[in-house]
Structures are given as C-alpha cells and as structure tokens.
Amino acid sequence: MPLISEIDFGTPASRSEKMVTLTIDGNEITVPEGTSIMRASMEAGIEVPKLCATDMMDSFGSCRLCLVEIEGRGGMPASCTTPVAPGIKVSTQTQRLKDVRRGVMELYISDHPLDCLTCAANGDCELQDMAGAVGLRDVRYGYDGDNHVKARNDGAINIKWSPKDETNPYFTFDPAKCIVCSRCVRACEEVQGTFALTIEGRGFDSRVSAGMHEDFLSSECVSCGACVQACPTATLIEKSVIEIGQPEHSLVTTCAYCGVGCSFKAEMRGEELVRMVPWKDGQANRGHSCVKGRFAYGYSTHKERILNPMIREKISDPWREVSWEEALAHTAAEFRRLQYQYGRDSVGGITSSRCTNEETYLVQKLVRAGFGNNNVDTCARVCHSPTGYGLGATFGTSAGTQNFDSVEHTDVVMIIGANPTDGHPVFASRLKKRLRQGAKLIVVDPRRIDMVSSPHVKASHHLPLRPGTNVAVVTSLAHVIVTEGLYDEKFIRERCDWSEFEDWAAFVAEPHHSPEEVEKLSGVPAEEIRGAARLFATGGNGSIYYGLGVTEHSQGSTTVMAIANLAMATGNIGRPGVGVNPLRGQNNVQGSCDMGSFPHELPGYRHVSDDATRDIFEKLWGVTISNEPGLRIPNMLDAAVDGSFKGIYIQGEDILQSDPDTKHVSAGLAAMECVVVQDLFLNETANYAHVFLPGSTFLEKDGTFTNAERRINRVRKVMTPRNGYADWEVTQNLAKAMGLDWNYTHPSEIMDEIAATTPSFAMVSYSYLEKMGSVQWPCNEKAPLGSPIMHVNGFVRGKGKFIRTEYVATDEKTGPRFPLLLTTGRILSQYNVGAQTRRTDNVVWHEEDRLEIHPNDAELRGVHDGSWVKLMSRAGDTTLRALITERVAPGVVYTTFHHPTTQANVITTDFSDWATNCPEYKVTAVQVSPSNGPSQWQVDYDEQARQSRRIAGKMEAAE
Amino acid sequence: MSLDNTNGKLVRMANQIATFFKSQPEAERIQGVATHINKFWEPRMRKAFFELVEQGDAGFDPIVISAAAIIKRPGGPAQPSEASEHIDSAMLEAGFSD
Ligand code: SF4
Ligand code: SF4
Ligand code: SF4
Ligand code: FES
C-alpha cells in the first residue's frame, strides 16, 4: 500500500468539446480548447516547474517558474496562463528557460529559511521539489538584507518578520516560510468561498493575512483546510504532521459525518492516522472538505471511548466489565427470556445512520430473522422519513433526484429549511461557486442563514416565514406559477397525469393560497412570494435543496409533496441542473433507509406485506418473515410505557438525546428490561442501558456509505478496531449467540447478499466499486454505470403525481404563556448530538449551545447577551445562555442541540408528522425568562447520568 | 381525553392522517386513511385503535370511523387491496419508504 499521490495538472480541466492538437517537446498531444499549456504538458507526461499554479484553482501567473518557449513567438510565456493553440510547438526546457528558472528560485530561496531537514513539510514540499527540479545549486544572496525569515536583523527588530500563528487547533501558519504564491488566498475564495484570507501590501512587502490582520481563530476562517492543502510549503501545515511526521501509506475512504459523503485519503504511518486529505477524484466533494471530515477524527482515540463490553442488572448499578462472550450470551439469553415471557413482539432494534450499509442490513436481518418480527427502525425516523414518503408518493423513489455535480448547471436555486454552510459545508462551497458565476438564489427559512448574504453571494429573495408555515408558502409559490401561467405545460403533459395536474392546479389557484392571504399567516411579504415564484419558474434550470427545516414538522411529508409538485409544474426534473434534493443529515441516512431499516419495509423499499419480496428473503434466510408492519421508534416507546415492549438493541444511536420529548423517551427506556447500546461512548441512552457493547469507528472497518446523492462510497479499514471487533462483527456474534447460523467473513459478502436480493443494487459489489470508484443506485442491468440523475425519460412510478397540499396549522400554537416559537438547527463545527465532535478540538468553535433571540424580544424580557435564560415549553424547561442577534425574526428563538447538558429536547414536544411520525423539532411554543443557573431537571439529570456512568473498579468516567 | 397517554396519541395520529386525506379528492379519502393505517400501524396499535373505535367516544374524525370498516383487524385475514388510484396504493407498487 503506497501513499496515493494525485497528479496536479496545474490548472483546471477545460469543459470545451472542441479539441486542439499541438506539439510539446516533440510529442503531439490533443486536448480540449482552453486547456493551458501547463495542463497539456502534464497530460503528455511532462511536468513543467511551477509554484503558484494548482489544478484546484484558476491560474494566476505570479511565480514565473513555469515559463516555456513557443516556436515563432517571442518571449517566454507562463505555461499556466497561456492556452493551447492549434499546431504550436512548445519547448519546456531550453538554456534560456533553465537560466531564468534558476534565477527565480534563487530569489525565492534567499528569503526562505534553510531548515529543510527539521521542517515538517520535508518530503512533501513543492519549494524543495522545484529547487531540485531547476537544479539550484547555490544562493548568492544571504539574509543580511531585507527578509521575512529572521526575527532580528543584527540585533534590531525585523518588522517584516511575523511569529507563527498557532491559534487554529488543527494547523499552523508560519509567515517566515511563505513565498506569497497566493494559492491559499485563492483556495479560500474559489474552493471554499469564505474569503477569509488576503494579501496585504505590495511587492516585497506583501504577505498573507487572515481577515483584517487577525489571527486565524478570530478571523472568518471556518477551518475547511483548503488553504493548507493548497500551500506548497510548510507555511500552512497540519499540526498532526508536525507532531507525527510524513505519512507513508494511504487508503481512500469516506467521511463519517454528513450526507455529502466526501472522499478522503486517510494518510497513515503504520496504524497511526497522520491526516485526512480530501480526494480530488471524490465525486461528491471534488477535492474539498470541511472542518469535520478533514480534522475532527480525534474522537476515535479519545480517552472516554469504551473498549470493553459491560453489563449490569439494574440501571442504578455501576457497570461491570465482562468478556465479549459473556456480554453476548447474556444479551441473547435476555432477549429470548423476554420473548418467552412477553411474546415475540416485545423486542426490537434500531439501526444506525452512522454505520455502514452492511451493518445496517445485518441489524434489520437480526430483527426480522432472529427476533422474528419487524420492530426495526432507524434515526432517519427523526429526520428524513417524510422525504421518503413524499418523494415516493409523487415521483416513485425515496431519494434525491440529482448528483452534486448538477449544481454546476443550475440557474436558480431554492433552499428551503436548510443551512448548507453549516450542515452540508462542501455542498455549500460548490453552490457558492455556482452563485458567484451568476446563478440566482432564493432562501426560504425563518432565520437569516449565512447563505442569504455572505461575501460575493446574495440571495435574490429571502422568505423569512414563521416556523410551521412551509406548506402554505410553498403552495402559494405554486399558486403564483399556476395563476400567472408560468407552468411548463409540455413537460406536464408528457411526464405527468394531466387530469391530476388540473385537479391540483384548481386547488392551488384557490384564493386562500394567494400570496396576499398567505402573508397573513406566514409573515412573508406577498411581493417576495410572487417574486420568488416568478424567478424560479422563469429563470432557467431551477433546483430545490431542502433540509430538516422541511421534514421535521407535523406537515413534513406534505411539504415534501409540495416541493415535488413545484418541481414538476416548472418542468425541473430529469436533467442536470434541476431536481429535488434532500440534504441528508447523517452520513448514511440514505443507506440506512435503503437497507430496510423501517418497520414496514424490506431492503429496497418493498412493503413487508408483499409476498414476492418476503419470499426472496425467506428462502435465503430460511425463516418466515412477519407480513405485519413493526413498531416505529415513538411507538416502541409508547408500547414500553404500556408494558408490552421490553427489550431493544440500539446500534450507534443516542435516542435519549436526539429524539423529542426527553422525558417520554427516558420513561420508555426505564420501562424496558433489557436495553442494549452499541456505541463508542457511554452516550445518554446508555444511562438507561443494561448491556453496553463497544462500537468501532469508520476508520476501523470495511463497508460502504450511501450519501445524499445515492452514491455508494467505500469505507476502508485503516486500523485495527480498538474494541476488538467492527460493528458488523458484533451484530454477527450476537446473532450467533441467538442461534443463527451467520458466517460472513468480510462485509463484501454482505453486499453480495444485498445485491442478490435488492434490484436497485443488483450490479453493486466491492470489486465493481473498486473498478468504478463509486456508483449511484439504481445500479443494475438497466443502468450498469449507476444513475447520477433520476427520472430522465419519465418518472420511476410512471406518471409524476400531483398531490393537493392543504396547509394545516400545527397543534403547537403560541399563546400568552408560550408566546415565542423555538426552532432548532446545527452549526458547522459540531455534528448531530455532538458525541464525536465534542470529543475533538472543534469545541473551540462551539463550547455550548446558545439561545438566539431577537434584540426586541430580549429587551422585553430583560435578557442580556451571554446571560443565562430559562427556556420553557409545555413539555419541560431547561437553561442555557442567550445570544442576541437579528438573524432570527422577532417572535422566533433558535438553538442547536449538540450538547447534552442543554437538553434542548426536554423542551420539544411529541407532536409529529402525520404520515411518518417524524417529530416536529422545528416548532415549539416557548417562553424565555432570565435565570441564574441550571434548572432542577438539569441538576437531577446530571446526577442520574453521573451515577449511571460508574464502572466498577474504575474512576468515574467523566462526560 | 388527555393526550399524554398512548391512546390519546393514537387518536391524534389517526385524526392527523384524516386531516391530510380530507383535502384530497373525495373518492380517495376513506380508502386513503385505511390504507395508510394498514401499511404503517403495527398490530397492537390497530388493536388499540379498534378498541377505541368500539368504545365510541374517543374523538375520532368521522373519516377515521368510516375507514375503520376497511382497516385490517390484527390477526384477521388480509383485506383484498383496493385497486383505487390512491396515493398509498400507488406507492406500494412503485416501492417507497416512509
Ligand atoms: S481553512 Fe478554509 S476558510 Fe480557513 S482560511 Fe483556509 S481556506 Fe479559508
Ligand atoms: S501561505 Fe502558502 S499558499 Fe499561502 S501564499 Fe504563503 S506559501 Fe503560498
Ligand atoms: S462533514 Fe460532510 S461536508 Fe464535511 S467533510 Fe464530512 S462529508 Fe464532507
Ligand atoms: S506556475 Fe505559472 S506563473 Fe506560477
């Protein structure tokens, strides 16, 4: 296993279809028009020396190292900025070029420290490489003159010198080593889109600066790492490389955080992870990353990680460490006892969106074949279940319609209830790039999210609707499109049922859907709704991206249908640049849904009542599968409280922290006799567990994740599981302990079983993924290369279905006691319940959850910025600190839910989506008042948590 | 009835489903509610549902009461699926998730 080294072509690929033939050093080569001479040379296998160019960014032409000569043209043009021309003859190496290049390098090196042997970039430094490439042998100028290298010149302070900036927890900036190539500045602008870096000064005085002469941590920098990757020297370098040294081998794997599913090279030294570097061939991320995937992997070696199985009789007992055999035998015996005592349906399982497809598949198989019921559910219940329902009903598949590359072809983007810069950062960067090229943006969100206005990006329309009025606003957009005749009749007649369209069109045209009426309940000015609708319908390729702000409502499924209606009515389905795109929260939400994690359907979204489908699995597994739907998570908890549900196997989920109405969840868990938690850490749910099975990280297993664009990406094992087993092995061992004859020796065999039973995965295998890199399902005989875009020649369900979407006000209403609406969300540096990210240096950006409140509401209540407030709802109360901001509208407050001490879900109610029971996280009526400290609930909870985390014979495990 | 207990929630859930289908074309309403409950409600939820329906004063929406006639009794024989051009049954053919 060598270190994977990617070719740097120097400049981005040209998209032109017209080809040009030229000669470089006697080699004839044909490339697309618009390609730089530098890139063409590289494609011919000739590496022209370069410093300021790299293929992630447009060329800049500042270093003058890449000069070439062209026959018949005078001078020495820079190959990175000079495009190819038909028939030209280029020389990359002549005496004249050699002399100039040496001169250039000599100047660079004369202002660069010569501590190469002890430099962290030694062996991975382009400056070093170029000095070697041009044959630099001596440097005539010393540091006696002007320089940036030495703190002092002859005892006097050198004002050109600046100290190292080590404020960012993951990388350092050492200005003394900077060659001012501006690659970092351009990476921050062009790749990341944050514009945090600038070049200050001119000529010899110029230098890189973060923000307005700030340190990195206080600047706008979001720590995506693009500049670090771009830097050719040790100026910007990972702290892990400084500490460990250069890696010696690497494997390509997939980020385990969000649904973008970025590909990374895990660069290793032995079994030690040196760094994660985004992989340029990664189809989702195209060489970019965010702070989480790039840097926040330290949790895998965190001291609080639990490495031994543990059991206890009562949840008030301390944990007792036991062998794997004992833990699994105990669990198996308990589940059998419960089923004997309380019936077959008294136990169930929860699959994880953080685990691999193969692991999820095994958990549902254990429930269906081992427990003999369909009581399996997944955390997608609490995030994207309405997506599956709504898109299934209208289009016929439970998934987004596009690949991420599609954004490069879009003209108008509508973002609804999503905050991509924080939730899906790499997608946000790609979107911003398209917006800077001129695409238009519409944001539908109660908060003024960063996308509404950030450097070089400005939304044409922001519809700051009252939480809970999504259906009204989206239906009103349709009202404008229908009543103003802006719909795409040709598309609808061809692809959809015309009479259903007519029914729907008459429905949305009703006067109570008009923007003027909807303004009254949503608070969005009618003109904004009209403007947004007109822009979306007439602005070219229109795409919709949405998130949990759409799904986590009592009308979540209805909003998804309304979105699908809008896309069909405007003809925006079935080609690049358009489509309906759910932005999935966790890395494998799509995959866990695909793998049959829901209690009513087998892998591939086939209902358990379908005899033919059950037959496939019954034959293969040698069991009878129940044809009745099982319990969903909220139903399991209800049944537990009622006494008919007694045992649960939870893999990689923390339902106590992530699910709504904490008190109800804890009551349900407390009522069970055997709660088995498999996770990395003693999470909140584990406070109620009787068995703890240590889990493994994505670095410790083989498998696949399926991202939000249906892309099946490989996860590769780079180190031995510290807990002894990968999660799929733990499930298999549990199944064996329960008497099932499972003998998978590698996850690839599980994938083979998935492919054999699930039509949309028919062609997927590890060897095929090895060959293809990744594929998007459906991947079968009909689509052997996978399906980047769906519904291309017609909808999967046949005709696209228009469905009436009537707005119904949520039962959760504000009133005199609870006059404010709370909505929840996430931030960039933290992930979900934060169990992983809180155990990394990412905490420097988000130490605690804060309550965002509008200045007017704050003043009315005597709340000051940073002061403690009590947040109360009908369900409960908690305390946290206030953050006064105009990002939220008056009447709305907002918080994140990354920290267990905040217990934001004590506040949320058990209202849920009508179709899927997806909880209504996004709307809770609350009151806010000043407070001086934690609530009694928080104090009690902390004490209970502390007690329940005790491990016999060990010091108290700190959370 | 208090909404804090499981039965109260069941009524609320059924009525929420009814509310959605109420806005759909007339012919799809009752069948829509029934198919939805048949597809997504576990037998013990349907058992509790029938007990509440028979009790008579649980507060169900009239559409839910009408749908009860074609909701599958837990443990009972499978109902022949209606061939109406209805959302849930359409989805069953296409394959979908909730
Ligand atoms: S880490 Fe990312 S955001 Fe920060 S300066 Fe570098 S490129 Fe810009
Ligand atoms: S920090 Fe690195 S990338 Fe940025 S200008 Fe200096 S040498 Fe170039
Ligand atoms: S968290 Fe998401 S955007 Fe960030 S690196 Fe991972 S997959 Fe990519
Ligand atoms: S690489 Fe072409 S000018 Fe620097």
The tens digit of pLDDT for each residue in A701-710 reads 999 999 989 9
Residues 6+ apart with CB under 8 A from A541: A409, A410, A411, A412, A572, A575, A576, A577, A578
- Identify the domain containing residue A296 by its residue range: 152-301
Q: Is residue A272 part of a domain?
A: yes
Residue type, A933: G
Same domain, A432 and A511: yes
The best mutation among A170, A227, A275, A456 to test binding of ligand 1, ranked by most ligand atoms within 8 Å of the C-beta, falls on: A227
CATH number of the domain at A49, please: 3.10.20.740
Name which of A500, A607, A627, A803 to mutate to probe chain B: the one with the most chain B Cβ atoms within 10 A of its Cβ: A607
| A275/A290 Cα distance (integer angstroms) | 13
Kindly state if the Cβ of A65 falls inside 6 Å of ligand 4: yes
Same domain, A394 and A356: no
CATH number of the domain at A487, please: 3.40.228.10
- Going A373 to A376 to A381 to A382, the CA torsion angle's sign is positive
Same domain, A403 and A375: no
Task: Give the pair of three-digit tokens for residue A756.
Answer: 């054999």
The maximal CA–CA distance of chain B, rounded, in angstroms, is 39
**Which chain A positions have a beta carbon within 8 Å of B34's beta carbon?**
none
Does residue B96 have a pLDDT over 70? Answer: no
In order, the DSSP letters of B24-48 are: S-GGGHHHHHHHHHHHH--HHHHHH
Same domain, A129 and A174: no
| A781/A954 Cα distance (integer angstroms) | 56
Tell me the whole-structure pTM to 2 decimals: 0.90
Cross-chain Cβ contact A639/B41 below 8 Å: no
| A275 C-alpha to ligand 3 centroid (Å) | 15
Same domain, A526 and A598: no
Cross-chain Cβ contact B96/A388 below 8 Å: yes
- Going A761 to A704 to A833 to A729, the CA torsion angle's sign is positive
Q: Is A642 on the interface with B (CB under 8 A)?
A: yes
Q: Is residue A37 part of a domain?
A: yes
Query: Cis peptide leading into A778, omega within 30 of 0?
Result: yes
Q: Is residue A957 part of a domain?
A: no
pLDDT at B89: 42
Helix axes A633-642, B6-22, angle to 10 degrees: 150
Q: Is A391 on the interface with B (CB under 8 A)?
A: yes
Task: Give how far the C-alpha of residue A68 lies from the chain's centroid of Cα atoms, to the nearest Å.
Answer: 43
pLDDT at B84: 35
Q: Is residue A3 part of a domain?
A: no
Residues 6+ apart with CB under 8 A from A324: A309, A724, A725, A733
Same domain, A478 and A511: yes
Q: Is residue A59 part of a domain?
A: yes
**Per-residue CA distances from A800 to A22, A533, A573, A792 (Å):** 50, 21, 10, 12
Kindly state if the Cβ of A875 falls inside 6 Å of ligand 3: no
Q: Is residue A636 part of a domain?
A: yes
Same domain, A159 and A201: yes
Task: Give the pair of three-digit tokens for residue A655.
Answer: 């339902």
Residues 6+ apart with CB under 8 A from A663: A875, A876, A906
pLDDT at A959: 40
As for how many domains chain A has, the answer is 5
In order, the DSSP letters of A756-825 are: HH-GGGTT--HHHHHHHSEEES--STT-TT--SSSSSSSBTTBSB----------S----SSS-EEEEEE
Among the partner residues A391, A607, A803, nearest to B39 by beta-carbon distance: A607
Same domain, A734 and A859: no
Same domain, A561 and A628: no
Q: Is residue A267 part of a domain?
A: yes
Kindly state if the Cβ of A78 falls inside 6 Å of ligand 4: yes
**Cα angle: A812, vertex A814, A816; to 5 degrees:** 140
Cross-chain Cβ contact A593/B24 below 8 Å: no
pLDDT at A746: 95
Nearest Cα of chain A lies from the Cα of B74 at a distance, in angstroms, of 9
| A598/A393 Cα distance (integer angstroms) | 17
Nearest Cα of chain A lies from the Cα of B98 at a distance, in angstroms, of 4
**Which chain A positions have a beta carbon within 8 Å of B91's beta carbon?**
389, 392-393, 396, 797
What 3-state DSSP class applies to A570?
A: coil
Q: What is the per-residue pLDDT across B38-76, written as a single tens digit (0 to 9) for each? A: 989 999 899 989 988 888 888 888 899 988 889 998 875
Among residues A557, A581, A605, the one where a domain terminates is A581
Same domain, A208 and A265: yes
Q: Which ligand is nearest to the CA of A587?
A: 3
pLDDT under 50: residue ranges of chain A: 957-959
Q: Is A561 on the interface with B (CB under 8 A)?
A: no
- Using DSSP bridges, classify how beta strands A674-679 and A691-694 pair: parallel, antiparallel or unpaired: parallel
Same domain, A919 and A888: yes
